[in-house]
Amino acid sequence: MLNIFRAPLTLWMAWSVAGLVIAEENLIDFESAEIGKPTVQWEDKGVVFELAHAPTKSKAKGRVMFFPHLGTQRKGILNAMANEAIPVRVTFPRPAETVKLTLWGSTTSAALVEAFDAEGNLIAQAGLDQVPVRKRPEEHIPFFDLSVSAKHIAYLHISGSQPGGFVAVDELRWSYPAAPATAVIRTPPKP
């Protein structure tokens, strides 16, 4: 009687496994970066960090740099142009589907994450009118998370600070669209 159900069970298993999807989360935490050294762009795992556009108030090249989170050993990337608030652009090597950022910022800053497709269309955004601030001087500047999800995220813009302020990205987590899993299921030979 078991042999009668073996073929349908095998077909059901193959159909069920083929319907699974695999999504892998990727992480960049900037811990290998050098603090305080401005650079035109920085790349890790194929993801490129640079300014969204050239400065308009000077002829200097736009730069990003790494900044320490005071009170911890963590590092974050931000706009190195102190007199001009230019978004940091984060470009993925292929379109992402979900992106989560851990950030911190100066007390007067807002925070905005905008996701764009390859044609430059705004497809998702998340933000805060004001970044979280410490309640007592002895506390560390708080971290906070912002996430965006959409099909085909080609790049992000991260902004919100006024000149002289900053929004720093502490961690970037992202996943690409899930790919269907493939499996080969073989029926055991008959005894």
* Interval 163-180: pLDDT, tens: 878 899 999 999 998 766
Instruction: Give the end-to-end CA distance of the chain in Å, rounded to a whole number.
Output: 14
pLDDT for 187 equals 64
* Range of weakest confidence among 51-55, 98-102, 125-129, 184-188: 184-188
**Token pair 């073929």 in the structure block, residue:** 7
pLDDT digits 0-9 by tens, 58-80 = 888 999 999 888 778 899 999 98
Enclosing H/E stretch for 2: helix 2-18
The rounded distance, in Å, linking the Cα atoms of 156 and 92 is 9
Task: Average the pLDDT over each of 87-91, 94-98, 174-178 and give the range with the smallest value.
Answer: 174-178
Q: Closest Cα to residue 32, out of 41, 44, 24, 48?
A: 44
Parallel, antiparallel or unpaired: strands 179-180 and 21-22: antiparallel
- Partnered with residue 103 across adjacent β-strands are 144, 169
Distances 51 to 6, 89, 158, 176 between C-alpha atoms, Å = 60, 5, 9, 23
